[in-house]
Amino acid sequence: MVSDSSKTLRLLMPQWQGGNNPAYYLGAQLLNWLAPHSNDTFEEVPIDRTEEGLGVERGIFARSTLLKQAHAAKGILKKHNPDRVVVFGGDCGVELAPFAYLNDKYDGDVAILWIDAHPDVNTPEHFENHHAHVLANLLGVGDEDFVAEVPKLVNPDKVLYVGLNDGTDSEKEVMKQFDLSVVRPEAILKDSSPVLDWLHKTNISKIIVHFDLDVLDLREFRSLLIANPSTYSSMVEKAPTGSNMETIIRVLQDVAKAYDIVGLGITEHFPWDSYALANMLTRLPLIGDINKTEKPSFNWIF
């Protein structure tokens, strides 16, 4: 359903500060490398890789850095004025600029499928990592400077969670406030009708898809923060069952056959093995520093 004259921008935004996890930088680069080749316009958003000196500002970790990076992404979108946007992230906060851009470009005639294990409608009063705030910002809730990046607020009636299986008490309050719709993982096991039926009722023409890889079940896909090798066996026992890859593929293929998808963001790829290997290579003779002792860092807090 993509016209020959449409313009697609591929945006690589390896932002990691929103989840305070440097591995998301590598994860985004790998997503971009693994994705099928394309002749679409490509830009990489400049991301500060420095881990030193970052702290909590007005309830948000690395607030100034995140705003600077959001502004950079907004500038790239304005320069290219694409009809469609693909985003390789990075933490979920990378969706702020492109989703705000697309919702404004199409004057709100879009529905957002938020394919994610988590609601991402937290606020600085309850949680310092901005990757869990981004959908709240798009709805007009949260830090005023991030909300100001959204020229046209997203209509909550046009947001559907797909695969959601978690959420804090504060997030559940926001979900209740906006009466956000939810399709649980078990509801899409057999077919995609719960998603397609909801879309039919919205009477929209365009779709934006947020795909956080943590919606996938860690028993099938392990490049997730929750799949830390040192605690993996215990997490397998207690983590709720997520969606499998084939289910998510089928849902998105079914949606794409019936609707015009204008945005796709893929986020929170946490490649544990590659992250550890990259650190090891920096510490080996001839190719690295044999005096280096630092191990790869990560933040366990979601």
* Most distant CA atoms of the chain, gap in Å: 62
All structural domains of the chain: 8-281 (3.40.800.10)
Q: Pull the structure tokens for residue 13.
A: 């935004």
Whole-angstrom distance, CA of residue 265 vs CA of residue 274:
22
Q: Could you read off the pLDDT of 30-82 as tens digits, one per residue? A: 999 999 999 999 999 999 999 888 999 999 999 999 999 999 999 999 999 99
Query: Which of these, 268, 262, 184, 194, lies nearest to 227 by C-alpha position?
Result: 268
Residues 6+ apart with CB under 8 A from 216: 224, 242, 243, 244, 245, 248
Query: Which of these, 165, 166, 162, 227, lies nearest to 196 by C-alpha position?
Result: 162
Average pLDDT value for residue range 261-281: 97
Average pLDDT value for residue range 289-298: 93
Give the residues across from 29 on adjacent strands: none
Whole-angstrom distance, CA of residue 110 vs CA of residue 292:
50
Give the residues across from 148 on adjacent strands: none
Q: What is the pLDDT of residue 4?
A: 53
Q: What is the pLDDT of residue 302?
A: 67
Extract the runs of DSSP E, i.e. beta strands, from the chain: 8-13, 41-44, 56-57, 60-61, 84-89, 110-115, 159-162, 181-183, 206-212, 260-267
pLDDT band at 300 (very low <50, low <70, confident <90, very high): confident
Q: In what order do the strands lie in the sheet with 206-212?
A: 41-44, 8-13, 84-89, 260-267, 206-212, 110-115, 159-162, 181-183
- Flag whether the pTM goes above 0.75: yes
1 has a pLDDT exceeding 70 = no
Whole-angstrom distance, CA of residue 122 vs CA of residue 284:
42
Q: How many CB atoms lie within 10 A of CB 176?
A: 9
Average pLDDT value for residue range 131-153: 98
Whole-angstrom distance between the N-terminal and C-terminal Cα of the chain?
36
Percent of the chain whose pLDDT exceeds 90: 92
283 has a pLDDT exceeding 60 = yes
pLDDT averaged over every residue in the chain: 95
Q: What is the pLDDT of residue 5?
A: 62
